[in-house]
Amino acid sequence: MATLVSWVPFWPPLRLSIFLLAIMTFSIFLHSRGWFPASGRRLPSSNAMGRPPAMSPILPPTTPPATERGMWTVNSAGRLGNQLGQYATLYALAKMNGRQAYILPEMHRKLAPLFRITLPVLSSDVVRSVPWRNYELHNWMSEEYRHIEGKYVRLTGYPWSWTFYHHLRQEILQEFSFHDHVKEEANRYLAGLRRQRWNVTYVGVHVRRGDYVWLMPQVRKGVLADKAYLEKAMGYFRAKYQEPVFVVTSNGMEWCRENIDASRGDVYFSGDGKESSPGRDFALLAHCNHTIMTIGSFGTWAGYLAGGETIYLANYLLPDSPFQWRFKPLAFFLPDLMMDPFGDSQEKVGRTNPQRLDFSPPPPPCLTKVHADAP
């Protein structure tokens, strides 16, 4: 009987060596092309691979890694009008100097509920860790601000003059465009004032009082707008437009109700005569066609965003005011948009190219010469 013998295939040594060498070569080729992830390397996220990411909370833009452009910011000081001026000045000066601008968390908390601002927000940890160079600004554009040195600069002060940012007007208006729900609320309120009128012209009126009631006469040696000024300003628009509607906002509404004549039926006090929130008042003013302001950055910014004509109180500082050296009418009141039809002592100015305007540092107060009559 024949014996069954199992047959095992046998590869000659040379053929086996060639086969193993081919496998090793192919494996090295795959790794060099990146077809297999190396140890410690993350696979692409679902978002990077074209699939929607998992739901995440909506957060403000935070600090990206520092770049060669550096990081510039500005102090967050004062109320809404000051914050708008600081934001716009940072936006313009950082761009002028080729730096990346960031805002502090407190500024984001004040401006983001109203406006579609786009500058990224610094985290608190970064604010504390960066070796900032503080750079103080006066409130008008100067030539040296075009060449500010430093990669990590924090601008300080209360800048809000149009001379810093007006050459970027469209960009600034875009930054300070209101959220839809804010616009809808303001327009809804204004539409409710139309009533039987067919050709309405809305005039926002901002009367700055509050702490200025004692600050202006006692500290700054200045005056506040009185009843006569407001009546003249409203008379200007009544004479010019067929059906003006005046929307009064103030941080001293009781004074306004007592001193502004509403008997004609064309004056409305925002919030039914009570002091409203600053954001709501500002949105109402900015959605009007024209503006009557008294003093301060709040009213100035309202007129800037509203466009149209703005009547302002000229010469509100007395000749012996210690703040005269800080006040430059050409830097505060934009010639293209603002006018004072009552102050005959106010210098008349024509259209000005803001990019060519430059204001030298102010002289000491004792050397300042002022020729102006208080209203």
343/236 Cα distance (integer angstroms):
13
Is residue 135 a contact partner of residue 156, using CB atoms and an 8 Å limit? yes
Is residue 128 a contact partner of residue 212, using CB atoms and an 8 Å limit? no
Taking CA atoms, 272 is separated from 33, 114, 120, 182, 248, in Å, by: 72, 22, 38, 19, 10
346/361 Cα distance (integer angstroms):
22
Paired tokens of 367: 């050397």
Tell me the whole-structure pTM to 2 decimals: 0.74
* Eight-state DSSP code of residue 222: B
Is residue 85 a contact partner of residue 158, using CB atoms and an 8 Å limit? yes
204/270 Cα distance (integer angstroms):
10
- Residue-level length of the chain: 375
Is residue 261 a contact partner of residue 282, using CB atoms and an 8 Å limit? no
Q: What is the pLDDT at residue 240?
A: 96
Q: What is the pLDDT at residue 207?
A: 96
Is residue 280 a contact partner of residue 178, using CB atoms and an 8 Å limit? no
Q: What is the pLDDT at residue 58?
A: 31
Place of tokens 């949105």: 283
End-to-end C-alpha distance for the chain, whole angstroms:
135
276/282 Cα distance (integer angstroms):
10
10-residue block means of pLDDT along the chain (375 residues)?
43 56 58 42 31 32 56 96 97 97 97 98 95 95 95 95 95 98 97 93 96 90 93 96 97 95 96 78 97 94 95 87 78 62 36 33 28 29
Is residue 138 a contact partner of residue 90, using CB atoms and an 8 Å limit? no
111: left (phi over 0), alpha (psi -120 to 50) or beta: alpha
Paired tokens of 226: 């009185």
336/340 Cα distance (integer angstroms):
12
CA atoms within 13 A on the CB side of 211: 6
Fold of the domain built from segment(s) 180-367: Rossmann fold (3.40.50)
The answer for residues whose C-beta is within 8 angstroms of residue 296's C-beta and 6 or more apart is 81, 206, 208, 212
For the chain, which residues make up each domain, given as ranges? 71-170, 180-367
Is residue 187 a contact partner of residue 195, using CB atoms and an 8 Å limit? no
Q: What is the pLDDT at residue 12?
A: 55
Paired tokens of 69: 């452009």
Report residue 117 CA to chain centroid gap: 7
Residues 10-30: b if buried by 16+ CB within 10 A, e if exposed: eeeeeeeeeeeeeeeeeeeee
81/294 Cα distance (integer angstroms):
14
Task: Annotate 263-315 with DSSP letters as a single string.
Answer: TTS-EEETTTTS---HHHHHHHHHTSSEEEE-SSHHHHHHHHHH-S-EE----
